[in-house]
Amino acid sequence: MMGEKPDYTFRYPVEAPAAGSRRDSLLEMIRIQLESLLGLLSLYQRGEEVKVDGFRLMDEGESIHPIFASGTDKAEVKVEVKVKVEVKAEVEPKSEPQPQPCPPPQPQPQPQPWPQPATSFQSARNAELYEPRIPHIQRVLESLLSVITLESNGKPVKVDGFRLKDLNHWLVPSFGDPAEVFDHLATRCDCNCSFCYLRGNPPSLALDQPKRKSEEEWEEVRTRLNYFSPAGKRALFPTLGSSYEILSHPRAIDLLRELRKKTDRPFRLSTNGNRLTRDFIGELSLLKPDYLYLSLNSSSPRRRREIMGAANPETAIHSLPLLREQGISFAVIIVPWPFPSKEEMLSDLRETVAHADRHDAHLVEVSLPGYSRYFSSEPLFDRGEVWASIISEIRALRREIQCPLLVKPSLYEETLYEGKFNLPAVVGVVKNSPAAHGGIQKGDLILSIGGLKVSSRPQARDLLHLHHQNRTPSLSLSVQRGKDFLELNLLTGRHGYPYAPETDHHLGMIFMGAGFRPSLLEDLKALITNHQARNVLLLSSPLVKPVFLQLLRESSLFGGIQIQVEVPENRYFGGNICMGDLLVVQDFIDGIREFLRKNPPPDLVVIPSSPFSLGQWRRDLEGRVFTEIERSVGLPVALLDCEPIYD
Ligand code: SF4
């Protein structure tokens, strides 16, 4: 039974203060507590937000002390890692669903009497991202310990850590997604991909996770499972580090079995395929519904061995027909890596896509390759040239194969090849899906769904999702195919493998990414109106800027308002990374300062929220809160709610 053992103990370290490092320890203790609190909350007076940046001691006359340590900009950590050019893959950051309002708290397991056995310390840097109240407690304790000594029975005691007493206090809203539990077992990987994005992580990334024995990880996850309440929509706060491969964990199947007793939601599992033997797939088939994102990368044993370091490359390659046999749908993930040559990469891409298509993959996802400056301090390849060659190949392959073929980030393909963004055009149709049986073809432009006119991709996806959820038995669609206009009828119950209604929400129609909701501009207008701004600086990324410009051109909402769209350089990751979601606070500060060197100050700076969306606390990937930007540049900064765009 999972619930009988005591809870895992979440422990955090407390650093002893360096002797004599503070000019005035008492003052510093107050400053640290204020600074730390102001990273967690805003102050208000009669309904108006008050910005504070200093404090005065009651017994000290007029002296005002700054709250924020001299300058909020962080010194750049200079780390240069030269990597031998071999090869590795990017794992798609999952977009988080929007938080739901919390229902009343459900009964939870009672706290265990303490003390409990010592466990490893958790990472306070990681907690900065997901539960910054823990680093706040840590700082308060450390600052107190710089001026006091704790004692027990009259004797001084040396404290080097603290533990969370009652885990019921640390429950947070949950989407009820089983990944909220099982992702915590994705702590290791038995591959060594030449292109692995984890090789290029900056040293100050908040997504770290202490290395622990598998049994201790299991104890933590077992406790997480006990507190996971899909019905009550509550779970323990996450401590996710960089995500590896869950099926490499020796207790992965044990956990999935226990989770299945608690939820019938699909398990969406990312795997490198090394463990996908006939027996293992048999185990997975008992845990349905499940869906695999299989990082195959290559269907050639030689290349899979070379670029992924896979010891038994045939296992993953031969797993496709076994998955089909067991009725487990899967996406094949490929990171084309342009080594030893672009030609070899493209030829291997063609063969791997054909292999996936032959074995009825639900879809194939091609992740465009990239690297950070920590991955390689020297340029490795020309991103524009390599990405364009991959996309040309994909567009040619789409004409030959049946399986939907997607490029990620899809906005790059849309920018390069489509005249217009956000159209509800079908880029692929899942075999045996209601859409395929109903006669939808790739390239069709959806004009109406169930009699309702649609004009944007998010609108089409939302309507299809709604009909899917409502189990509408038959659905009429108007589509444009070239110069023809067609009326089609979809029978939603008519489907077979690889389509699965539990994991496929758009009746088998695959679009080029999620697209941009028209409400985004209404939200932007509301931010501008609230700040009474006339000159606005909107910060974006190279991929999204053309979309913003098109949306703003087409909109009539912004008469009399000047909006400049600028792209800050991604210095944090560097290399050839161009994803806006990977920008950090310092990149935005630097980008705004550069803008101010050539332009008058805007009334308002607007930043998409997606780089601050990993936890619920609006922190960047270093754990820094977005309000630091406003403080540093001295301009009002507002976040525009946006989904991550890696779709
Ligand atoms: S399979 Fe493992 S080594 Fe390869 S990219 Fe994924 S996490 Fe990195």
Tens of pLDDT along 546-562? 999 999 999 999 999 99
Q: Ligand 1 centre and the CA of 643: distance in Å?
A: 25
Those residues whose C-beta lies under 8 Å from the C-beta of residue 408, and which sit 6 or more positions away, are 92, 365, 366, 367, 368, 646, 647
Joined tokens for residue 562: 């000047």
Query: What are the start and end residues of each CATH 3.20.20.70 domain in the chain?
Result: 168-408
| Band of pLDDT at residue 136, cut at 50, 70 and 90 | very high
- pLDDT at residue 531 in the model: 96
For residue 18, is pLDDT > 70?
A: no
Those residues whose C-beta lies under 8 Å from the C-beta of residue 643, and which sit 6 or more positions away, are 95, 514, 610, 613
What integer is the mean pLDDT of 524-550?
A: 95
Report d(CA 566, CA 605) in Å as an integer.
Answer: 10
For residue 105, is pLDDT > 90?
A: no
Residue indicated by tokens 């990368």: 297
Cβ–ligand 1 distance for 245 under 6 Å, the answer yes
Report d(CA 406, CA 391) in Å as an integer.
Answer: 10
For residue 63, is pLDDT > 70?
A: yes
User: In a mutational test of the pocket of ligand 1, which residue from 245, 292, 375 has the highest number of ligand atoms less than 8 Å from its CB?
Assistant: 245
- Per residue in 250-279, pLDDT tens? 999 999 999 999 999 999 999 999 999 999
φ, ψ at 37 (rounded to 5°): -65, -40
For residue 102, is pLDDT > 90?
A: no
| Band of pLDDT at residue 65, cut at 50, 70 and 90 | confident
- pLDDT at residue 19 in the model: 62
What integer is the mean pLDDT of 52-70?
A: 80
Q: Which burial class, exposed, middle or buried, applies to 401 when counting CB atoms under 10 A from its CB (0-12, 13-18, 19+)?
A: middle
- pLDDT at residue 49 in the model: 81
Cβ–ligand 1 distance for 375 under 6 Å, the answer no
Nearest atom of ligand 1 to the alpha carbon of 335:
5
For residue 46, is pLDDT > 80?
A: no
| CATH number of the 168-408 domain | 3.20.20.70
Please state the three-class secondary structure of 413-440 as a single string: HHHHHCCCCCCCEEEEECCCCHHHHCCC
The residue nearest atom 7 of ligand 1, judged by CA position, is 244
Give the helix/strand (H/E) hosting 578: none
Coil, strand, or helix at residue 464?
Answer: helix
Closest CA to 238 of 320, 150, 175: 175
Joined tokens for residue 397: 């392959």
For residue 104, is pLDDT > 80?
A: no
- Per residue in 145-170, pLDDT tens? 888 788 888 888 888 889 898 999 99
Q: Ligand 1 centre and the CA of 442: distance in Å?
A: 31
- pLDDT at residue 288 in the model: 97
Report d(CA 236, CA 173) in Å as an integer.
Answer: 9
Question: Other CB atoms closer than 10 Å to residue 374's CB: what's the count?
Answer: 21
Please report, to the nearest 10 degrees, the dihedral formed by the alpha carbons of residues 475, 481, 485, 486 taken in order: -30
Closest CA to 442 of 465, 460, 459, 426: 426
User: In a mutational test of the pocket of ligand 1, which residue from 198, 293, 332 has the highest number of ligand atoms less than 8 Å from its CB?
Assistant: 198
Closest CA to 638 of 541, 550, 532: 532
The DSSP call for residue 484 is E
Joined tokens for residue 189: 């990987």
The DSSP call for residue 369 is P
- Per residue in 236-252, pLDDT tens? 999 999 889 999 999 99
| Interstrand relation of 363-367 and 329-334 (parallel, antiparallel or unpaired) | parallel
- pLDDT at residue 432 in the model: 98
Query: What are the start and end residues of each CATH 3.40.50 domain in the chain?
Result: 519-640
Cβ–ligand 1 distance for 89 under 6 Å, the answer yes
For residue 522, is pLDDT > 50?
A: yes
Q: Ligand 1 centre and the CA of 275: distance in Å?
A: 14
Type of residue found at 50: V
Residue with the larger pLDDT of the pair 144 and 340: 340
Rg of the chain, C-alpha, whole Å: 26
Which range in 12-21, 218-227, 237-246 is most confidently predicted, on average pLDDT?
218-227
- pLDDT at residue 78 in the model: 36
Please state the three-class secondary structure of 500-550 as a single string: CCCCCCCCCEEECCCCCCCHHHHHHHHHHHHCCCCEEEEECCCCCHHHHHH
Report d(CA 84, CA 101) in Å as an integer.
Answer: 49
| Interstrand relation of 604-608 and 637-640 (parallel, antiparallel or unpaired) | parallel
Coil, strand, or helix at residue 412?
Answer: helix
- pLDDT at residue 31 in the model: 87
Cβ–ligand 1 distance for 247 under 6 Å, the answer no
Least confident range of 72-81, 303-312, 447-456 = 72-81
Cβ–ligand 1 distance for 186 under 6 Å, the answer no
- pLDDT at residue 5 in the model: 84
User: In a mutational test of the pocket of ligand 1, which residue from 83, 91, 185 has the highest number of ligand atoms less than 8 Å from its CB?
Assistant: 91
Give the helix/strand (H/E) hosting 441: none
pLDDT-above-90 percentage for the chain: 73
| CATH number of the 519-640 domain | 3.40.50
Report d(CA 433, CA 359) in Å as an integer.
Answer: 16
| Interstrand relation of 48-50 and 43-45 (parallel, antiparallel or unpaired) | antiparallel
Cβ–ligand 1 distance for 191 under 6 Å, the answer yes
Give the chain's mean pLDDT: 89
Strand ordering across the sheet containing 535-539 = 562-566, 535-539, 604-608, 637-640
Answer for the pair 369, 335: CB distance below 8 angstroms, yes or no: yes
Joined tokens for residue 406: 């997607």
Q: Ligand 1 centre and the CA of 329: distance in Å?
A: 21
Joined tokens for residue 170: 């640390």
- pLDDT at residue 21 in the model: 52
